């Protein structure tokens, strides 16, 4: 899917670039009735693989999530010593080089409109991955839920590992941005999502440890909440 067709289908995406070289915009949201706010954008900022603030937050998040979810535990075991580039998903008013760590937030000069949410940048990142990757699957933890909860309006697909672990699963046939957002948006300060691949996505309500192991083995990107819930950090580990 092209950027132009995505923009036409969803109404919230357009591409732009920062000429200064410090970041590039993947999602730009505007509202003609609020021109002063249309300048604020959600962006992806490449950080490289040597950003210690990014590495510290990523490993801390995986370590905390590993207490309750086996996918985080397996990811931590596999990639704790790995290299690989990081990407921040933040508002374009952030000056990341001036931040002491990536678990704090920076308030914009004006309150962003709801459409400016950095969630939408992550949605585009995930949708692009699903469109472009063979046998793509995206799995996200849900820290706020367990099997016994009353699932009246679940996202497109959820599955359970035991009684206490809930995972949202996305495959390429899910293209609606709202459904993707419902599946990947963080519901807790700590949460893990992974972009991976699998030729045998389970069709029932349960996943197995073996399948989770396949997802970890094929992991391309890991994403976690960052910036005190106002953005995300994406890691593309090199095994």
Beta partners for 232? 89, 225
Helices (H), the chain: 3-10, 52-65, 70-79, 119-132, 177-184, 209-217
pLDDT class for 153, splitting at 50, 70, 90?
low
pLDDT at 193: 97
Q: Which of 210, 16, 219, 229 is nearest to 102 (CA)?
A: 229
Check residue 34 and report its DSSP letter: -
| pLDDT of residue 83 exceeding 60 | yes
Determine phi and psi for 40, rounding to 5 degrees: -90, 130
Number of residues in the chain: 239
* Per-residue model confidence as pLDDT tens digits over 107-141: 665 665 443 578 889 999 999 999 999 999 999 99
Does the predicted TM-score (pTM) go above 0.95? no
Q: Tell me: the pLDDT tens digits for 28-67? A: 333 333 333 344 577 899 999 999 999 999 999 999 999 9
Which residue, among 222, 220, 196, has the nearest Cα to 207 in the 3D structure?
A: 196
Q: How is residue 212 written in tokens?
A: 């989770």
């Amino acid at each position: 899917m092209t950027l132009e067709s995505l923009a036409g289908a969803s109404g919230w995406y357009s591409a732009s670039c920062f000429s200064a070289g410090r970041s590039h915009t993947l999602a730009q949201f505007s509202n003609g009735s609020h021109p002063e706010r249309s300048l604020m954008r959600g962006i992806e900022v490449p950080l490289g693989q040597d950003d210690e603030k990014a590495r510290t937050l990523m490993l801390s998040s995986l370590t905390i999530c590993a207490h309750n979810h086996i996918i985080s535990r397996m990811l931590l075991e596999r990639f704790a010593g790995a290299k690989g580039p990081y990407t921040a998903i933040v508002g374009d008013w952030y000056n990341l080089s001036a931040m002491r760590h990536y678990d704090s937030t920076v308030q914009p000069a004006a309150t962003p409109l709801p459409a400016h949410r950095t969630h939408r940048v992550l949605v585009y990142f995930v949708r692009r991955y699903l469109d472009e990757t063979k046998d793509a699957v995206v799995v996200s933890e849900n820290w706020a839920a367990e099997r016994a909860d009353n699932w009246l309006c679940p996202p497109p697909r959820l599955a359970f590992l035991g009684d206490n672990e809930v995972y949202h699963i996305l495959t390429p046939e899910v293209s609606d941005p709202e459904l993707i957002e419902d599946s990947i948006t963080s519901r807790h300060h700590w949460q893990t999502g992974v972009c991976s691949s699998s030729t045998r996505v389970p069709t029932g309500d349960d996943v197995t440890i073996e399948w989770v192991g396949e997802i970890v083995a094929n992991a391309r990107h890991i994403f976690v909440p960052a910036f005190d819930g106002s953005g995300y950090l994406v890691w593309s580990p090199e095994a």
